[in-house]
Structure 1
Amino acid sequence: MAEAVVSVVLDQLVSIAREGLEQEARLVKGVKKDVAKLRSNFQAIQAVLEDAEKKQLNDARVRDWLEKLKDVSFDMDDLLDEWVSAIFRSKIQKQLDREGDQNAQVVNRNKKACFPMPTSSFCICSQVKRVGVNRETAIKIKELNARLDIIANEKQNYSFTQTRPIKQLERQKTTSFVDVSEVCGRENDANILIDNLLWESGDEDRGLTIIPIVGMGGIGKTTLAQLAFNDNSVKTQFETRIWVCVSDPFDEIKIGKAIIEGFEMDARNFVELESIVQCIHKCVRGKKFLLVLDDVWTEDQEKWEKLKYPLMGSEGSKILVTTRKKEVAIMMRAESRIMNLDVLSENDSWSLFSKLALFEREDCTGVQEIGMEIARKCKGLPLTIKILGSLMRFKKTKTQWEDVLYNELWKLEDVKMKLFTPFLLSYYDLSPLEKCCFSYCSIFPKDYDIDKERLIEMWISQGYFNCKENPEKAGQACFENLAMRSFFQDFQKNDGSLELRNDGSIELCKMHDIVHDFTQFLTDTECCIMEIDNVKDQLDIESEFTPFTSHSFDRKVRHSTIVLAFKAEIPSSFCNIAKNLRSLFIMCSRNATFNLGIVFPHLTHLRTLTLSRCNISILPEEIGKLIHLRYLDLSGNRTLEELPNSLCNLFNLQALRIFRCSRIRRLPEEMGKLVNLRHLHNGQCGLLQGLPKGVGRLTCLKTLEDLVLRKNINNGYFSIGDLDKLNNLEGSLSLHWCGNLDVGEAEKANLKNKKLVVSLELDFGMTFEDTRNIEDEIIILEALEPHPNLTYLSISNYRGETFSARWMSSLSNLTELHLKDCESCESLPPLGQLPSLESLDISYMISVEKVGIEFLGIETEDDSEMIKSSIVSFPKLRNLRFSHMNHWKEWDGNAVTRKNTSSRIMAHLHSLEIERCDNLEALPNFLQSTPLQYLSIKSCLMLSEYCQKRTGKVWAKISHIPNIKIDYRQVQKDDFIQDYNDCSKNIVEL
């Protein structure tokens, strides 16, 4: 950690020299010389830090030396940041004063009498104040230099070896998240587990079977459970599948809510356990479900039975439990069904190791035998094998492989350190900043869903990529490298679906429990997690390996997470560590309360503040005093109505998250002062009336999620024309109330020049007039032409009768398209020729009566002759959904298949969903030639009726599809008729 902290400070010093900011203190003698000396001292120390980090494992004196170095480094970083911030704030204020003077002069010209402002006196006062700040800074720099001198001299006592920086290898993007086939050696275990889940035994406890998987940490229990959970035969067997991460402590309310949400119900309003168990009982009634409880620790039978009893009574349902403790299975009275997971055999260990270590390696001569020896050191633990196998991917020579095999770390005698040896080997192979980014993850509780985008913004707020031109890109590369080294797992998208991706677009991930323990081992007293309930005021750390004790309440704590339980409050003892905190992450239950106004004055060095979903209704004015703050997350505070004006004093702020703050109506007027703001996450703020005009001056802005376009806009609001100034925008952009625009205004947006905006939502709704000019909306849509790089597009509430915008057919990179609530449109646009389109969702297009061959992008000379003899339509479409199209009667694509034998239509279609299309009578013939795997028909009276007969034209077109759901019920092909009749009977009875 010291290595990374020193690196951050050196970045600051290099930045100061590059910008010539020492000259800002030219009135104070010797400042430039002192800054140069600081830089020299830090560089000399940096050269030996890699060796020092390793030696401190066995040498307490080195550990103390590193602690002193970290302390002075943090203090120096804070001082330099204050200095640069003061200079920067002065420059911004000067600019604002000049603009104010210009505006005042314009106003004064129209006045008969004018009183001159004492600007000269103001400038003199400002200069005196500035000199005072510089002198104070200079004195502190001298003091810190003296402390650093002592530390630099002491390094001679430890015989450190200097190391040269290792050039980072260029890695291929396509291998960022390799599917390493984690089930090596588990095939038999997987088959047995799946058979147990599918087996309808007669000894269930009131219809409920519990199957425990027991094994030591890192042995692959969760992986095996995931394999069974996602097996196709298991999916078919159970009507509902729910996955809940339990961990320690066993929180019945939290687990109960997760189960309710697994049944697709909203559990946010449940507070008492009694109401939760009643709801669970109603949810499970008559449903066959599979519930996975991952990582259970509690042996408290009373806690378990509170959740078990409401789950009973549903015949054939199963609960799959993963645990490290056999006592848990005995407590659950499931010892007869225990699956004891053993370590991998030597052959299976080598198989898994080699898949990673030798990935894309053509010549394995000389390293294979060394690799087998390394694999044996992993003792058959899959997690350890993955960590070391991922490390060896980057070792190119035999010597490098031998360095790992014979590394001194294998000789560590401390039990905890021996456990972490494989992790230390991989950790020491990282760059200093990658080490810091990895260890920073100790701030998250166990089993926490880590949002990659948030994590990268938090890294940046700590200054880890301070000198990078594109810190987000550097953070992305760092994340990918850590992922490739198996420090992250369970990659998924924000919708919760588990999916390994090769394009780097993972949104959520987790850390394995043991990897998380390792991060806490690395951060020692620098990071602490406090769990506070309404009874006690104490530290409760979530780790069996944690080094933390109550003495963590001291000045060495730099990053803290506080988990507030029901009706809990932040303890007064927290103020002892608050003043040195650089990160504060508060998580709380629905009824937790705390006084932010009391906490904020102590957070004088805070860089990162997360208050997401903390029930905040008022953000105190004291927020403006946190001058170091770079990252502020207020998302999910649904009772927060406004932000204080003092927020605009946070000149260093880089990321502001108010996502899902649904009651916020307007942001502070002086938002334009936040000139370092790079990310404004303001999506799903339903009452937000618009953005302040000053947002148009935030030229660093890369993220602006939602923009409300007001009619007859005045100078107080951001207008669509102001978008033209924000040339660095990237990612997602949503434009709301597009129907309010004048045609001329729409052209000012210049969206076609926003080449980094890859996701666009155009919402024409929310106008307050009875009539809207339909012709104008057609022209406005044409004027809002995006860049061809667009990959996602949503158009909603559009009133035009056709989608005639010429640019729609030229979006060659578009992969996902949503058209919804376009009530006046009578036909669908010709989308079949979009070459990259993979997902298409069309809903509430109530005027559409026919979907014909024009939808396929096929041109005709007349109604009978095709222009093209060979037709390719929707070449990459995988997912297609139609919903709530009550006037839709005909889906015609038959002419294509009749007249053209070489047509390829929807050749990669994987799933088709049709919902609430009551008048649709038939499906097109070309569906027979598609590789459809999933078909869902919901609340479509005529189609459902035809399908139940299992004969006729409709059935012939879908009979090849292996997975079919009719009205929310999975049906088996062999007993289709009986299942459907039973379902219909149940619906009638209900």
Structure 2
Amino acid sequence: MPVLETLGGALFGVVLQMLFDKLDSHQVLGFFQVTKKVEEEADGRHSVIDDAEQKQFTNSLVKEWLDEVRDVLYDAEDLLDQIECEFSKTKLEAEFHTSSSKVHNFESKIIALLDDLESLFNQNIVKDFKIYTGVRSGLGGNKSTSLVAEEVIYGRDEDKEMIFNWLRSNTNDNKLSILSIVGMDGMGKTTLAQHVYNDPKTEEAKFDEKAWVCVSETFDALRVSKAIIGDFTNSRDDSGDLEMIHGKLNKRLSGRKFLLVQDDVWNEDRNQWKALQTPLMFGAKGSKVIVTTRSHKVASIMQSTYIHQLKQLDEDHSWQTFAKHSFHDEKLKPELKEIGMKIVEKWQGLPLALDTIGCLLQLKSSVSEWEGVLTSEIWDLPIEDSKIVPSLLLSYYHLPSHLKRCFAYCALFPKDHRFDKESLILLWMAQNFVHCSQQSKPPEEVGENYFNDLVSRSFFKQITWYNETYFVMHYLLNDLAKYVSGEICYRLGVDGEKIVSRKTRHIYVSGPIQYYTTLCDAKGLRTFIVIRKRCKMPIEELISNFKFLRVPDTIGDLIHLRSLDLSGTDIERLTDSICSLYNLQELKLNNCVKLKELPFTLHALTNLRLMHATRQRAVDHLFELKILTGTIKLCKLN
């Protein structure tokens, strides 16, 4: 059963795939006779969810339906976790034959979950969903042309001058020179390319031919080649033969100096680019190609000579962009200007977002209307009036399935959170988001590939400050993660004092827990991160309610536990009960100055991969433990 490649695939397909894999495994198949029912239940569901995922942004009832489906599948994942834990405890299949009542109980629970799914897919709302496979191009908005859409752009003079200098330069070899403009959606890559393409300074490079092609989602060598020859000749070619099209391109470009702009490139297939590039190599020395893309990986695959990272607008240029669209040359009331400055700060130098918000405010003159826009999220604004929303959604749709859950999980953290790569990867591992197709490849390495891929696609931005490297996520991308994760992630102290939903799986606490009783409704909680421990009830008592917790900050006898952080506590002895946490992958004991003793049976934790500990009396025993197991990566910190 293939993992789904849609937005729904991220939130649902991976869980379903796990269900199929576990039920089809040689261990479980002998005990559960529900595999056929699972396959029948899922047959065709992916295309229904695909269409529903696209409708949710304009239909709240569809979003509610999707949330219910997702909740059932999370329950299924939790149940699979329990089943796997039982197998880990017994180790012998024979013992399961003597526990038929428990096995039967698991089987009945799985069937009940599948019945819940069937009920959801039989609801009337599903009848309106269309069967569709793949990503719709309509999500990406209008195709670009070389015509300048914005007469004036602010804050890009240095960028333009750099590109003009590159256009006028001549290399010593005949290799095609390619410049890729890279940046997240809404940064103004296309607008910048349009201004350069039409600026009189470009004529100084004396190109014989110029062409503009919008590539967008579907990169097909034949289609793009036809578009290029069509723009060069100002004619349309309906030929379906790549050889014939390339022959025409070769003849047209041979010995001629050309400028080609390929706008909005998503494709990461190196072979497709090589097939397209072949006739371009016949151009004269000094021929140039400008590529706009949000992905560094695309820029690398296209063998870019230069990669230009487009930066966010500074405060002054952001205000000029906003002002141009919101009130033109009219004098703005002082109270509106004050709100406007806050709006500009909120959208963090993203030209397309400032354009969208400015246009929405153009006909609004009351303070209450401006304040309403200030306090709203981008997703609360009319989607038909927004340019940035479809663009961001398309970026998310283009993520591979294995990256979608990783990205959505980042909704757990507040805006401006400084992400540490290694820590985030360990959290992904704890949630089983990291899947190793090769037995010899450690999950830490696979997780690092995931993270680097998200950085390459502009979902994270690397920051270096006083020799410290960390990563941040743009405000709008944080909003996107929060939107697609729904009620799954809750940030206490950030998201307000609303009641925590029973659907919540991950909680981040950055303030005092004043309404801790509402947290206890989240029975399926998997992550519990406390930044400031100011809870009125003992943490041990609080998390005892969370039977599916995977990442808490203190100990608990919880079978789903993946990461255990006891750092900074007054613990003196690590109890033997920890050795029954078969799923534990990470143990943190930093700054536990009173710790004297560790259990000698820690080697029973066969999934333990990483242990952090500062130098203390019990730490030498950790080295003995490493010798015994040979599997633990010990980080002994001074």
| Smaller-chain TM-score bracket | 0.5 to 0.7
Match of 2:119 in 1: 150
Match of 1:161 in 2: 131
Of residues 471, 480, 487, the one that matches 1:518 is 480
Matched to 1:53, the amino acid is E
| Alpha-carbon spacing, 1:697–1:161, altered in 2? closer, same or farther (3 Å) | farther
Instruction: Report the Cα offset of residue 446 of structure 1.
Output: 2.0
| Alpha-carbon spacing, 1:11–1:460, altered in 2? closer, same or farther (3 Å) | farther
- Are 1:587 and 2:587 an aligned pair? no
- Are 1:12 and 2:18 an aligned pair? yes
Query: Alpha-carbon deviations, 1:937-958, whole Å to 9, x = none?
Result: xxxxxxxxxxxxxxxxxxxxxx
CA contact (8 A) 2:571 2:592 kept: yes
- Are 1:632 and 2:575 an aligned pair? no
Cα RMSD of the aligned pairs, angstroms, is 4.5
CA contact (8 A) 2:50 2:133 kept: yes
Matched to 2:486, the amino acid is D
Match of 1:704 in 2: 634
Matched to 2:448, the amino acid is Q
Match of 1:451 in 2: 420
Query: Alpha-carbon deviations, 1:211-270, whole Å to 9, x = none?
Result: xxxxxx9999xxxxxxxxxxxxxxxxxxxxxxxxxxxxxxxxxxxxxxxxxxxxxxxxxx
Structure 2 CA distance for aligned equivalents of residues 185 and 632 of structure 1: 48
Instruction: Report the Cα offset of residue 630 of structure 1.
Output: 1.4
Of residues 447, 451, 473, the one that matches 1:479 is 451
Matched to 2:607, the amino acid is N
Alignment of 1:889-904 (within 5 A): none
Structure 2 CA distance for aligned equivalents of residues 484 and 475 of structure 1: 14
| Alpha-carbon spacing, 1:556–1:17, altered in 2? closer, same or farther (3 Å) | closer
Higher-RCO chain (CA-CA 8 Å, sequence separation at least 6): 2
- Are 1:435 and 2:435 an aligned pair? no
| Alpha-carbon spacing, 1:592–1:577, altered in 2? closer, same or farther (3 Å) | closer
Q: Which structure: greater helix fraction?
A: 2
Matched to 1:70, the amino acid is R
Instruction: Report the Cα offset of residue 47 of structure 1.
Output: 4.1
Structure 2 CA distance for aligned equivalents of residues 700 and 350 of structure 1: 57
Query: Alpha-carbon deviations, 1:318-344, whole Å to 9, x = none?
Result: xxxxxxxxxxxxxxxxxxxxxxxxx99
| Alpha-carbon spacing, 1:219–1:84, altered in 2? closer, same or farther (3 Å) | closer
Structure 1 CA distance for aligned equivalents of residues 35 and 545 of structure 2: 28
Larger Rg computed on CA atoms: 1
Structure 1 CA distance for aligned equivalents of residues 101 and 628 of structure 2: 31
State the SS of the aligned residue for 1:588: coil
State the SS of the aligned residue for 1:445: coil
Structure 2 CA distance for aligned equivalents of residues 345 and 430 of structure 1: 21
Aligned-residue sequence identity (percent) comes to 25
Structure 2 CA distance for aligned equivalents of residues 426 and 395 of structure 1: 18
Of residues 498, 502, 505, the one that matches 1:555 is 502
Structure 2 CA distance for aligned equivalents of residues 151 and 394 of structure 1: 44
Of residues 682, 703, 715, the one that matches 2:613 is 682
> Could you state the TM-score of these two structures normalised by the residue count of structure 1?
0.39
Query: Alpha-carbon deviations, 1:905-942, whole Å to 9, x = none?
Result: xxxxxxxxxxxxxxxxxxxxxxxxxxxxxxxxxxxxxx
| Alpha-carbon spacing, 1:694–1:686, altered in 2? closer, same or farther (3 Å) | closer
CA contact (8 A) 1:386 1:486 kept: no
Structure 1 CA distance for aligned equivalents of residues 386 and 81 of structure 2: 36
Instruction: Report the Cα offset of residue 369 of structure 1.
Output: 6.0
- Are 1:371 and 2:340 an aligned pair? no
- Are 1:3 and 2:9 an aligned pair? yes
State the SS of the aligned residue for 1:577: coil
| Alpha-carbon spacing, 1:696–1:158, altered in 2? closer, same or farther (3 Å) | farther
| Alpha-carbon spacing, 1:477–1:552, altered in 2? closer, same or farther (3 Å) | farther
Structure 2 CA distance for aligned equivalents of residues 416 and 668 of structure 1: 61
Matched to 1:473, the amino acid is E
Instruction: Report the Cα offset of residue 681 of structure 1.
Output: 2.7
Matched to 2:521, the amino acid is I
Instruction: Report the Cα offset of residue 704 of structure 1.
Output: 1.9
Query: Alpha-carbon deviations, 1:525-557, whole Å to 9, x = none?
Result: 2211111xxxxxxxx42xxxxxxx655522122
Matched to 2:450, the amino acid is C
- Are 1:185 and 2:156 an aligned pair? yes
| Alpha-carbon spacing, 1:350–1:522, altered in 2? closer, same or farther (3 Å) | farther
Query: Alpha-carbon deviations, 1:61-83, whole Å to 9, x = none?
Result: 43233122111101111111111
Instruction: Report the Cα offset of residue 562 of structure 1.
Output: 0.9
Higher mean C-alpha displacement, 436-445 vs 152-161: 152-161
Match of 1:79 in 2: 79
State the SS of the aligned residue for 1:371: strand
- Are 1:652 and 2:544 an aligned pair? no
Query: Alpha-carbon deviations, 1:160-200, whole Å to 9, x = none?
Result: 3332699xxxxxxxxxxxxxxxx9726499xxxxxxxxxxx
Query: Alpha-carbon deviations, 1:397-443, whole Å to 9, x = none?
Result: xxxxxxxxxxxx99x94379654332111111112221111111111
Match of 1:931 in 2: none
CA contact (8 A) 1:387 1:422 kept: no
Structure 2 CA distance for aligned equivalents of residues 631 and 4 of structure 1: 23
CA contact (8 A) 2:501 2:522 kept: no
Instruction: Report the Cα offset of residue 705 of structure 1.
Output: 2.0
Instruction: Report the Cα offset of residue 394 of structure 1.
Output: 9.7
Alignment of 1:698-737 (within 5 A): 698=629, 700-701=631-632, 703-706=633-636
| Alpha-carbon spacing, 1:127–1:515, altered in 2? closer, same or farther (3 Å) | closer
Structure 2 CA distance for aligned equivalents of residues 395 and 128 of structure 1: 54
Unpaired runs of at least 5, structure 2: 1-6, 137-153, 161-183, 198-211, 232-259, 267-290, 303-377
Alignment of 1:784-795 (within 5 A): none
Alignment of 1:565-580 (within 5 A): 568-569=512-513, 571-580=515-524
Match of 1:55 in 2: 55
Match of 1:22 in 2: 28
Query: Alpha-carbon deviations, 1:779-806, whole Å to 9, x = none?
Result: xxxxxxxxxxxxxxxxxxxxxxxxxxxx
Match of 1:796 in 2: none
Structure 1 CA distance for aligned equivalents of residues 387 and 65 of structure 2: 23
Instruction: Report the Cα offset of residue 656 of structure 1.
Output: 2.0
CA contact (8 A) 2:460 2:473 kept: yes
Query: Alpha-carbon deviations, 1:765-788, whole Å to 9, x = none?
Result: xxxxxxxxxxxxxxxxxxxxxxxx
Structure 1 CA distance for aligned equivalents of residues 11 and 613 of structure 2: 32
Query: Alpha-carbon deviations, 1:952-976, whole Å to 9, x = none?
Result: xxxxxxxxxxxxxxxxxxxxxxxxx
Query: Alpha-carbon deviations, 1:807-832, whole Å to 9, x = none?
Result: xxxxxxxxxxxxxxxxxxxxxxxxxx
Match of 1:527 in 2: 489
Matched to 1:643, the amino acid is L
Instruction: Report the Cα offset of residue 644 of structure 1.
Output: 2.6
Matched to 2:59, the amino acid is D
Give the number of aligned pairs.
438
| Alpha-carbon spacing, 1:160–1:644, altered in 2? closer, same or farther (3 Å) | farther
CA contact (8 A) 2:186 2:388 kept: no
Instruction: Report the Cα offset of residue 386 of structure 1.
Output: 8.8
State the SS of the aligned residue for 2:492: strand
Instruction: Report the Cα offset of residue 692 of structure 1.
Output: 7.8
CA contact (8 A) 1:663 1:687 kept: no
Matched to 2:580, the amino acid is N
Structure 1 CA distance for aligned equivalents of residues 466 and 618 of structure 2: 27
| Alpha-carbon spacing, 1:658–1:386, altered in 2? closer, same or farther (3 Å) | farther
Structure 1 CA distance for aligned equivalents of residues 431 and 265 of structure 2: 40
Instruction: Report the Cα offset of residue 582 of structure 1.
Output: 2.0
Alignment of 1:806-885 (within 5 A): none
Match of 1:806 in 2: none
CA contact (8 A) 1:659 1:681 kept: yes
CA contact (8 A) 2:425 2:447 kept: yes
CA contact (8 A) 2:296 2:457 kept: yes
Instruction: Report the Cα offset of residue 453 of structure 1.
Output: 1.2
